[in-house]
Amino acid sequence: MFNYIIVGAGVAGCVMASRLTERDDIQVLLVEAGKDIPTGAEPADILDNYPTSYYNKSYMWSGLRAAWKKTQDGYTNFPQGKIMGGGGSLMGMVSFRGTPADYADWVSAGATGWSWEDVLPFYRKLENDWDFDNEFHGQDGPIPIRRLPKAKWQPLTQSIEAYAQKNGFAYISDMNSDFRDGVGAVPMCNTETRRASTALCYLTAEVRARKNLKIITDSPVKRVLFEDQKAVGIELYRSEPSASYFANEVIISSGGIFSPTLLMRSGVGDQKRLEELGIPVVADRPGVGKNLKNHSTLFIGFHLKKNSRQSKELRTHPSVCFRYSSKLPNCPPADLYINVLSKTSWNAMGEQIGNLAPTLLRPQSYGSVDLKKGDIDGYPEIEFNFLDHPQDLERMKIAFKQAVQILLDSEIKACIGTPFPVRFTDRLRLLNEFTPKNKFRADLLANILNIFPWISDYVLSSLTGERTNLAELIQDEKALEEHIRNNIAGLFHPVGTCRMGFADDSQAVVDPFGKVYGVEQLRVVDASIMPNLMAGNTNIPTIMVAEKIAATMMA
């Protein structure tokens, strides 16, 4: 018998396990579906401060797919971590907090107590900021936050900043406290030599040795067990050594996709839909699985000339970015973003390919996560419904045009070959999976382009499909809209599917403390409870959510 069972040792689950077991009288069971990464035995790709682990498919839920738009438009692979630390052990380590306007929207949606002023202390608590020591930042937290010094910037990055200066973009040295539009250094959660995930920084050897913490891995959870409306434990997809565990409270920390999936499988969701699926209804919460938000994006690649590439010694992902506002009616500030990469993969080809990624940070479209009839134990149906709202399309046009204008600058053109659109389905991306065969193929292609750089346009067009004149494309509104609709993709930041809200809001799933409405002794603590996306990546905000709720539970 435990005080708490935490389902999912992802970004939030590791934080919850660490914080709750600080008290000796609290017994915690942490259950993870995927692999463990024990302290001192972490694989090199997990530790790498370039996200090499992202390309290792053995760390992910195999075969999980999602529709960027509607399901009838087709599916794409959707990587989600199945490993200790979840996506924080795999993704790019970019560490934006979002803006005060984002959290004001949370409060308006019913997340009372989640304003910027409310969450800032927990951002300070989680971080050890290497660059800033002031009222906005902390120095004593477990997560190191740093920015690449200008002296180490890549040639392309230096040219990007020069473009920004010529075109009136402000330079933002700290994008986590200065929320103006501009070009800024990207905050990262790593050191110069290793990743800083919650699995590494919260579940340390000392924490793992606590007698009041039990960790079970390789154990997917089938459902939450209830007695009437009280959650009393969990059932695993196995019979030995034990199929069920019991606790005073169950905390679901399985992320924006799998937390609503588990709730629905356990009988918490839309009553009519659960009855159609043959699932006994515990609580009628129509909002479970709804309000799915994600950042939509497009990619523009280019071959980097030899003197413009990132050095092999620099193990970093993005170093600078553009953040700016569309200024369209009823759209929040800082709703657009352009990511800048001078290296796009782990292999030799990735070292020669850069990209700009125009991205919509604050979408108005939303999708859903739903169980499949006849296969409720399988993967859910995931539909992001990108570009459903007309203003989302308009804003992606603005962001795409800006990215192309950057690449047309004479100083930047001197660093690169002909820019080309990158599609999620093209053969260039198939080289990204971490395999010996792909290493051989990528090395061969990279050597050919080093010897014959003038054929890069031909080689890359054969890998990415039909060439597109981007300068002409942005002058043709109809063609640009078609290009965006055909090539829109997404990042891996699903939120909102168990969102916080007012008690009388039928679409709200949890209260501001993560407690699930309609039942007792059950919480959700992860990105799924966020009412809306923030203007930035979701890793650090998810840590903040876990820190804040853990603090209320320990008070």
Q: Which residues are catalytic?
A: 493
Closest CA to 523 of 531, 513, 533: 513
Number of residues that this document lists for the chain: 555
Rounded CA gap, 354 and 342, in Å?
4
Contacts of 39 (CB under 8 A, 6+ apart): 203, 204, 205, 208
Rounded CA gap, 480 and 401, in Å?
9
Rounded CA gap, 203 and 219, in Å?
18
Read off the amino acid at residue 2: F
Q: Which is it for strands 230-236 and 76-77: parallel, antiparallel or unpaired?
A: unpaired
Rounded CA gap, 504 and 255, in Å?
24
Structure tokens at 90: 């795999």
Closest CA to 354 of 306, 395, 401: 306
DSSP string, 289-309: T-SBB--EE-EEEEEBPGGGS
Contacts of 195 (CB under 8 A, 6+ apart): 46, 47, 48, 49, 51, 53, 89, 93, 189
3-state DSSP assignment of residue 523: strand
User: What sign does the dihedral 66-71-73-74 (CA atoms) show?
Assistant: positive
Closest CA to 20 of 552, 513, 510: 552
DSSP at 401 = H
Closest CA to 42 of 250, 231, 241, 197: 197
Side-chain-side CA neighbours of residue 520 (13 Å):
6
3-state DSSP assignment of residue 534: coil
Rounded CA gap, 506 and 524, in Å?
17
Closest CA to 361 of 282, 412, 406, 295: 295
Rounded CA gap, 533 and 511, in Å?
18
Closest CA to 217 of 331, 84, 309, 333: 84
Buried b (16+ CB within 10 A) or exposed e, 169-198: beebebbbbebebbbbbbbbbbeeebbbbb
Q: 548 near 122, Cβ under 8 Å?
A: yes
